[in-house]
Chains A and B, each alone.
Chain A
Amino acid sequence: MTVVGYRRPAPGINPDNNSSAYASTRARAPRHPAIRIEHTLSEITGPHFETGGASAIDLTRGARGEALGERIIVTGRVLDDDGRAIAGALIETWQANAAGRYAHESDQHDAPLDPNFAGAGRIISDSDGAYRLVTIKPGAYPWRNHPNAWRPQHIHFSVFGTGFAARLITQMYFPGDPLLAIDPIFQSVADPDARARLVAALQMDVTVAEYALGYRFDIVLRGRDATPPQE
């Protein structure tokens, strides 16, 4: 069986796990280089999830009322690096609330929880690869990486494409955030153009008048040189 593997990311796109400015890497990053293997059926296949799931969700409507904070719209497409839409991709998001607090038992930040905002979403991209998330703009929050360390505002994204080799977890940031310049996680991406692609773009054609600012965030997964012939 001849397998057409996924293209390899260019250097500088994915962070080196040995990035000591991010303190948690120091005892967790492997010291041996990863061993390169050619892709087999094991790497090019991967799980699929329910089709027909919602491609547009709204996290701002809590059980007892509207979530607090600045309502925003985040929309985009899941694509491969040939620009082809990936339909039926599972996108999972999670984030802090407007005060910078996660609805998570181990988040110790002394900022209020919002009973109307859980901050976690599950979306299936539509036939055009598109998704749409209505949420609250997350607050910055402190962390213990170094004295007086603060994470820039961000939304976590987990995405499944068509093969396990293309599996991606990332974070989406906001334009103009001054914390980006000093965030060791964002700065772990060596290629400045790749860093810029993690920053959503404010778009007036996504923005809904009298309702919410709109941001565009496309997620581009690894593609392949050709799809294999049907045997």
Chain B
Amino acid sequence: MKTKLTSSQTVGPFFAPLLRGDLSQMVSAETRGERVVIEGRVLDGNGDPVPDAMIEIWQANAEGRYDHPEDMQEKRLDPAFHGFGRVGTNARGEFTIHTIVPGAVPAQSAQSQAIWQAPHLNLIVFARGLLTRLVTRIYFPGEIANDSDPVLCAVPAGRRATLIAKDIERLAADKAASRRLCFDIVLQGANETVFFDV
């Protein structure tokens, strides 16, 4: 290390210019993979909605490949999917992400055989009152791979559920629509979401 790091500071309340262009819609008609709509709220320690949070999403494509030069897996890139999203919460603390379910990606492994991570979205949360960004993940309900995911397994069993989205019941008339999931982000308190030190 020759130069010294720049410190983090809060995003504050006035970051609206960052939300220009709708990055909550991460897919186009050509994107490969299972569509999913993730709805949630950001809540503070009093249970009140956080109306000025910004969430960034980074994820692999449907085959489990990140659109990044260091992902050298022999899987196809999807020209219709980059994997980055950004969404702000509304006055009720709500956000909606339109994306696809990513494929499994490899974990850190010293051995030659790969250990796989369960499908997940990587999230960063910024808000007024957060001086340093929070990092979390969204996992998918009903994935058998969740049981052996090395990151989920590093979380105390009693808190793992905060990282797994919940299915929202689809109306009978709505069966053709995208899969809908709910994922609330609780910044503080009894049901506090697990955040990671990366």
A102–B12 Cα distance when bound, in Å, is 12
Give B97-150 interface residues, CB cut-off 8 Å to A.
105-110, 114, 117, 120, 122, 124, 126-135, 137
Tell me whether B106 and A198 are in contact (CB under 8 A). no
Q: CB of A57 within 8 A of chain B?
A: no
Given contacts A28-B130, A30-B192, A220-B6, contact A43 B122 (CB under 8 A): yes
Measured between beta carbons, the chain A residues less than 8 angstroms from B132 are 14-17
Tell me whether B187 and A194 are in contact (CB under 8 A). no
Tell me whether B131 and A27 are in contact (CB under 8 A). no
Among the 9-residue stretches A1-9, A66-74, A203-211, the one with 4 or more Cβ atoms under 8 Å from chain B is A1-9
A15–B130 Cα distance when bound, in Å, is 9
Measured between beta carbons, the chain B residues less than 8 angstroms from A26 are 45, 129
Q: CB of A158 within 8 A of chain B?
A: yes
Tell me whether B4 and A43 are in contact (CB under 8 A). no
Tell me whether A16 and B154 are in contact (CB under 8 A). no
**Contact of B131 (CB < 8 Å), options: A31, A168, A188, A223:** A188
Closest chain A CB from B152 CB (angstroms): 10
Q: How many residues of A contact B (CB 8 A)?
A: 84
Tell me whether B3 and A220 are in contact (CB under 8 A). yes
Measured between beta carbons, the chain B residues less than 8 angstroms from A47 are 58, 67, 82-84
Q: How many residues of B contact A (CB 8 A)?
A: 73
Closest to A25 in B: B129
A221–B105 Cα distance when bound, in Å, is 25
Q: CB of A116 within 8 A of chain B?
A: no
Measured between beta carbons, the chain B residues less than 8 angstroms from A194 are 4-5, 7
Q: Quick one: CB contact mask for A187-231 with B, threshold 8 Å, 1 for yes?
A: 011010111011000000000000000000011111100001011
Among the 9-residue stretches B15-23, B28-36, B176-184, the one with 4 or more Cβ atoms under 8 Å from chain A is B15-23
A191–B131 Cα distance when bound, in Å, is 14
Q: Quick one: CB contact mask for A90-111 with B, threshold 8 Å, 1 for yes?
A: 0010101000001011110000
**Contact of B2 (CB < 8 Å), options: A19, A83, A171:** A83
A94–B19 Cα distance when bound, in Å, is 12
A218–B6 Cα distance when bound, in Å, is 8
Closest chain B CB from A13 CB (angstroms): 5
Q: CB of A61 within 8 A of chain B?
A: no
Give A92-141 interface residues, CB cut-off 8 Å to B.
92, 94, 96, 102, 104-107, 118-120
Tell me whether B66 and A171 are in contact (CB under 8 A). no
Closest to B85 in A: A47
Closest chain A CB from B71 CB (angstroms): 6
Given contacts A32-B195, A34-B196, contact A198 B2 (CB under 8 A): no
Measured between beta carbons, the chain A residues less than 8 angstroms from B131 are 14-17, 19, 22, 25, 185, 188
Q: CB of A41 within 8 A of chain B?
A: yes
**Contact of A170 (CB < 8 Å), options: B9, B58, B68:** B9
Closest chain A CB from B114 CB (angstroms): 7
**Contact of A167 (CB < 8 Å), options: B60, B124, B154:** B124
Q: Quick one: CB contact mask for A19-46 with B, threshold 8 Å, 1 for yes?
A: 1001011111111111111111111111
Measured between beta carbons, the chain B residues less than 8 angstroms from A41 are 60, 66, 70-71, 105-106
A185–B131 Cα distance when bound, in Å, is 7
Measured between beta carbons, the chain A residues less than 8 angstroms from B171 are none
Measured between beta carbons, the chain A residues less than 8 angstroms from B6 are 168, 170, 197-198, 218-221
A30–B8 Cα distance when bound, in Å, is 17
Closest chain A CB from B170 CB (angstroms): 29
A221–B192 Cα distance when bound, in Å, is 29
- Nearest 9 Cβ contacts at the A-B interface: A24-B129, A120-B17, A47-B84, A45-B68, A15-B131, A28-B129, A34-B197, A45-B66, A171-B9
